[in-house]
Amino acid sequence: MAETISVDCCIAGGGPAGMMLGYLLARAGVEVLVLEKHADFLRDFRGDTIHPSTLEVMHDLGLLEEFLRLPHQEVYELSAQVGQLRVTIADFRHLPTHCRFIALMPQWDFLNFLAEHAARYPKFNLMMEAEVTGLVQEPGGVRGVRANTPKGTVEVRADLVVGADGRNSIVREKAGLKVKEFGAPMDVLWFRLSRSPDDPVATMGRFDTGRIFITINRGEYWQCGYVIPKGRFEEMRRQGFKAFREEIMRLAPYARDRVAELRSWDDVKLLTVRVDRLLEWFRPGLLCIGDAAHAMSPVGGVGINLAIQDAVAAGNVLFNPLREGQVTIDHLRQIQRRRELPTRVTQWLQVTVQRRIISRVLGGTRAVKPPLAVRLLATFPFLRRIPARIVGFGIRPEHVSPEIVHLGSGSQGQPRNDREK
């Protein structure tokens, strides 16, 4: 017989959106349970960019100074080489934020940081190795979830279920929520190569004839992204791993002596790119946020930050209704209305870049000619503030409700035992 647990809010998925929302609700005194299907957060090649908008949220919460003590790299501008033209695309130094840079940090460090701080609140609960498999549905709406754990099946009853379980969301599938697909012309192969002191310093993308190669400076190593036409991975596998390594040597000649670090396809992670959006993000008793509501393209690396913004907006709207046991469909609709415009605009920009730049580069046989927008950025440096604002700050940045901040510093925020004092 399944174990039954009752909480105010059950969150499926312990990624950035789920952990941030769980932290905010627990800080405000809401009994919350986050279900994460893995045993830990140690998964490579996930969204490792913490943008200024997210750093601003950490400032709102009074956690920024401690957060930035974690190992990270600070990126003040994004560069690209388009054909023979090398240009700075975005300059974050002029943003109206406390941190005018992107922090590069392994996502597991970010999630562990949130989990450790959330655990200081008595009403926060995190269950690892708990994979949501279905919804508990009654005539009035969703009333909970069922999850598999090493100890057996668990049924979690909740006033609200939040699907934050990513682009392959079980929650949205089981709820029958309709998805609008926008398509993507590419997939991305992620891998890492060690860095040498003589290597270039800048994080940048290279757009050349039929190829797009991204190198992110992670201090001791390069996080590399090789963009390929959609569905071409199996063809590459048939051509052999040696051909792949030779291609990387051509794209990153300074790392020729380290390409042997890539031993097999096991060292390469395929990201199947999708861009989609739910028509409705909610049902009675259920809300989807982050990639579960809108899968983003890797263009701009903004997916994690949109997920965080969703979580902050949801926390601001829901903490009082959840404390009072009075969440309505209007509360859920309010969250979608607030977050849908930034999602729509960002996806429109991403799809435009995919169609007008990425598709043409990947399908091209002649030397790449920099588009007009890129040439303008090279000529007029002040224009670089526009993409910096879009990438770094977003269309509608969210701030944590002062009431949540205040509640977290009061009696709700007392440590749960002497060991944590």
Does 125 lie in the same domain as 33?
yes
Q: Is 381 contained in some domain?
A: no
CA distances from 44 to 48, 106, 190, 270, 326 (A): 9, 8, 9, 11, 39
Q: How far apart are CA 292 and CA 17, in angstroms?
A: 10
Q: Is 346 contained in some domain?
A: yes
Q: Name the β-bridge partners of 134.
A: 146
CB 57 within 8 A of CB 110: no
Q: Is 78 contained in some domain?
A: no
Q: How far apart are CA 386 and CA 317, in angstroms?
A: 30
Q: Is 320 contained in some domain?
A: yes
Q: How far apart are CA 349 and CA 297, in angstroms?
A: 10
- For β-strands 102-104 and 124-128, DSSP reports them as unpaired
Q: How far apart are CA 259 and CA 60, in angstroms?
A: 43
337: Cβ contacts below 8 Å, ≥ 6 apart: none
Q: Is 400 contained in some domain?
A: yes
Does 41 lie in the same domain as 146?
yes
CATH number for the domain including 124? 3.50.50.60
Does 263 lie in the same domain as 292?
no
Q: How far apart are CA 406 and CA 148, in angstroms?
A: 36
CB 87 within 8 A of CB 79: yes
164: Cβ contacts below 8 Å, ≥ 6 apart: 11, 12, 13, 15, 17, 18, 21, 288, 289, 290, 292, 307, 311
Q: Could you write out the DSSP letters of every residue in 305-368?
A: HHHHHHHHHHHHHHHHHHHHT---HHHHHHHHHHHHHHHHHHHHHHHHHIIIIIHHHHH--SPP
Does 295 lie in the same domain as 242?
no
Does 285 lie in the same domain as 259?
no
Does 111 lie in the same domain as 173?
yes
Can you say how many angstroms the Cα of residue 328 is from the centroid of all Cα atoms in its chain? 28
Out of 271, 293, 323, pick the residue that ends a domain. 271
Smallest Cα–Cα separation from 142: which of 12, 279, 296? 12
pLDDT of residue 84: 82
Q: How far apart are CA 242 and CA 262, in angstroms?
A: 10
Does 41 lie in the same domain as 118?
yes
173: Cβ contacts below 8 Å, ≥ 6 apart: none
Query: 10 Å Cβ neighbour count for 233?
Result: 17
Out of 243, 271, 299, pick the residue that ends a domain. 271
Q: How far apart are CA 113 and CA 245, in angstroms?
A: 36
Q: Is 35 contained in some domain?
A: yes
Does 343 lie in the same domain as 299?
yes
Does 171 lie in the same domain as 197?
no
Q: How far apart are CA 113 and CA 98, in angstroms?
A: 20
Residue 240: left (phi > 0), alpha (psi -120 to 50), or beta?
Answer: left
CB 282 within 8 A of CB 332: yes
pLDDT of residue 47: 66
**Average pLDDT of adjacent 10-residue blocks, the chain of 421 residues:** 90 96 97 95 76 96 96 92 88 94 92 96 96 94 96 96 96 96 94 90 81 87 92 94 93 90 94 94 98 94 93 98 96 98 96 91 81 91 94 92 86 40 31
pLDDT of residue 14: 95
Q: Name the β-bridge partners of 77.
A: 91
Q: Could you write out the DSSP letters of every residue in 166-196?
A: -TT-HHHHHHT--EEE---SEEEEEEEEE--
Out of 271, 290, 324, pick the residue that ends a domain. 271
Does 206 lie in the same domain as 170?
no
Q: How far apart are CA 263 and CA 248, in angstroms?
A: 13
Q: Is 40 contained in some domain?
A: yes
Counted domains in the chain: 2
Does 138 lie in the same domain as 29?
yes
Does 354 lie in the same domain as 290?
yes
Range of the domain at 56: 3-72+103-182+274-360+391-412
Angle formed by the axes of helices 16-27 and 107-118, nearest 10°: 20
Q: Is 408 contained in some domain?
A: yes
pLDDT of residue 45: 57
